[in-house]
Structures are given as C-alpha cells and as structure tokens.
Amino acid sequence: MPNGAPEVASDDGCVEKVRLLHTYMVAASDYLRAVQVLPERSGVMSKADYTRVREYSEQARKKAEVARYLMDWHISKHGC
Ligand SMILES: [Zn+2]
C-alpha cells in the first residue's frame, strides 16, 4: 500500500502565518519607501519634512521588526 507518504505540513495553510507575513511585508515596504525618499528629496525637503519622513521610516522599521519577530515566534511554536 502506498501509504508511507510523510505528513506534509501545507506551506500556505496557516492563516495566522500568512497574516503575520502580510503585516511584515507591508511594514517593510513602508520602510523601504521612506528610506528611498530620503536621499532623493533631502535637498528639496524642508528640515521639518525630512525629520518627519525619518521618524516615519524609523517607526516602519520597528513595526517590521516586531512583525518579523512575531512571525518567527509563531512559526517556531506552531511549526508551520
Ligand atoms: Zn502557524
């Protein structure tokens, strides 16, 4: 009987993992966008705007870090 197939944990079957991955990707792309804007616009932006974008990118980076941490934590606990 061909019954020896290993149990395959479906890669995209975990809704929570997908949700966390999505959160991470959104935050990471926010961060990348902010970081790309900084050198492009630093010459034309006011100092206040520059500071605002910098703060925004910093927050997005932290958000991405937290999301990635939660994702890693979930994967290690859930084994998905
Ligand atoms: Zn999971």
Three-state SS letters, 37-73: HHHHHCCCCCHHHHHHHHHHHHHHHHHHHHHHHHHHH
Q: What is the pLDDT of residue 27?
A: 96
Q: What is the dihedral of CA 10, 11, 13, 18, to 10 degrees?
A: 170
Q: Cα of 80 to ligand 1 centre, how many Å?
A: 5
Question: Each residue of 24-52: pLDDT tens digit?
Answer: 999 999 999 999 988 888 788 899 999 99
Six-digit token string for 24:
């991470």
Q: Cα of 32 to ligand 1 centre, how many Å?
A: 27
Position 6 pLDDT exceeds 50: no
- pTM of the prediction? 0.72
Task: Calculate Rg over the CA atoms of the chain.
Answer: 19
Q: Cα of 11 to ligand 1 centre, how many Å?
A: 9
